[in-house]
Chains A and B, each alone.
Chain A
């Protein structure tokens, strides 16, 4: 199959200076949004005690541990702004992402020991479930840096109970282990109760000498049976008990290394724990990159900086998706599947770091006369029509058969609507695409380049494809909402406006309400909002997009659950004809 992949079709053209000039304002706006997002990420990374304060206590911070553990240049953070229940701490109190340890990709997550000694906070279990799902989808090890003081007790009602509450990750850990996915844990500090289960539920436990894990910690052991309230005398008693237990918290190394043997190893130094994880990672299942590479890795033929002149910040401006993709894939080469059919979407095979990836994205702009073929109105890119839906169904099905991971790029306003669209079976074809995706069982990721709207956000490999979507990225231009805010205002208030008008009443109130709703849509669809509430797993700079694609591709091919030999692939042959 070498002739198929060593040199594929070139695409993309050098960007003209006048195009760059015209895009200068947009470029500036994209950079401004990126700078704002970076500032917010930095604030959260530096939440809680300062590094100096933590170091003074003899500990490393989570950031220092990650920096020591993860290979330089391979850390790809996720969920940096995720805080779905609006914690006052500004964080769910775990830091996670994809990174390489000992040459192997892992999903890595750790408690932020700068904030309430790594306590459970509202929204944290949802964050952890995203991370365990990611490890499962990519079939790569999960590495935990456990340092968890247990529940933030005053807020327990927000996260302790419920189906996806704080205990759910322990079941997910078991699920990963049953699926053959190892979980390595480096354990630091005091980890009582919930923290104890965070410590015990992974596969291999590597502890620092001062670490402890326990069913209950000082707070519980020293607690007394409820006596209907508190008095000063009781508090005096409590203080004495607490003092005793603080000296010897339960579940120390002498118990869980010497007696139970739960800890595989114990290290004197904090960095020793991380060295231990690295040594275990060297023994984790992973194919070398060469096994699945179909060609030598190559950089795109055009600079990533061009992306800022191609992707407009203005949602109404048209651009070339093909030009954008050419800035992201190896050698700016591709094999397009069914060009000319379903022109509103691109489907094709590309290489990222030398491995095959199926790419799907919305094309933009006028689609040419006579399309869609079932209607007498013009078709516009960003919308999905009959042929595009059929083409995506076919493409993902072939990717599933050939075991090729898929990257989706969304910039979609939705699926075509109206009687003609219904007659053209678009409702059925949209759901067929969901069925096709579900049937593939290959890792997928999504980049919401700009708009993610209506059902198209679901059917084009959106985060709602829970078992397949490994993670979703946003950009500085991302805007996710069921529809445009002004469209929503019309849908909500048009009838009321008519009634007010017929009754001879002034329209001021309706006008205000419509403007308020449109503004609310704007406020709740922007990149930082999308990241904060988890519509996307991370907003990344356009210049860093390819690096995330490489991380996904590398992780997806590290230890795939099933393989299609390259000489038995069908899709490239179908494309060749």
Chain B
């Protein structure tokens, strides 16, 4: 079942730590969003495989934007 990874807050995509096809575990860091002068990690909500990455480095995202899809 597909699981969306959402941006918890608005900011700039600072770093993407995974690529499509990577296996990840719950609580692994997936993306770093630069916001409020800090580099905020976004964690994997569950175990799975990265199916799709919807953002790219340097992109501005809004709160709740879909960052990637896990399967």
Counting CB contacts under 8 A, is B36 at the interface?
yes
Residues of A within 8 A of B37 (CB): 316, 380, 413, 484
The A/B interface has a contact count, at CB < 8 Å, of: 43
In this complex, which of A314, A316, A369 has the most chain B Cβ atoms within 10 angstroms of its Cβ?
A316
Counting CB contacts under 8 A, is A124 at the interface?
no
Residues of B within 8 A of A365 (CB): 38, 40-41
Residues A380 and B17 in contact, CB atoms below 8 Å apart? no
Please report the C-alpha to C-alpha distance between residue A19 and residue B27 in the assembled complex, in whole angstroms. 11
Residues A318 and B17 in contact, CB atoms below 8 Å apart? no
A19-B29, A22-B29, A378-B9 known; A316+B39 contact, CB < 8 A? yes
Residues of B within 8 A of A368 (CB): 8
Q: Mark B26-55, 1 if CB is under 8 A from A, else 0.
A: 011100001111111100000000000000
A 149-174 contacts with B by CB, 8 A: none
Smallest CB–CB gap between A463 and chain B, Å?
A: 25
Residues A366 and B28 in contact, CB atoms below 8 Å apart? no
Please report the C-alpha to C-alpha distance between residue A340 and residue B68 in the assembled complex, in whole angstroms. 28
Smallest CB–CB gap between A314 and chain B, Å?
A: 8
Residues A366 and B39 in contact, CB atoms below 8 Å apart? no
Smallest CB–CB gap between B57 and chain A, Å?
A: 16
Q: How large is the interface on B (under 10, 10 to 19, 20 to 34, 35 or more residues)?
A: 10 to 19
A22-B17, A378-B9 known; A318+B38 contact, CB < 8 A? yes
A 199-252 contacts with B by CB, 8 A: none
Smallest CB–CB gap between B65 and chain A, Å?
A: 14
In this complex, which of B28, B35, B36, B37 has the most chain A Cβ atoms within 10 angstroms of its Cβ?
B36
Q: Mark B1-39, 1 if CB is under 8 A from A, else 0.
A: 000000011100000010000000101110000111111
In this complex, which of B9, B17, B28, B35 has the most chain A Cβ atoms within 10 angstroms of its Cβ?
B9
Which residue of chain B is the closest to A382 with respect to CB atoms?
Answer: B38
Which among A366, A382, A484 is the interface contact of B9 at CB below 8 angstroms? A366
In this complex, which of A16, A366, A380, A484 has the most chain B Cβ atoms within 10 angstroms of its Cβ?
A366
Which among B28, B35, B36 is the interface contact of A16 at CB below 8 angstroms? B28
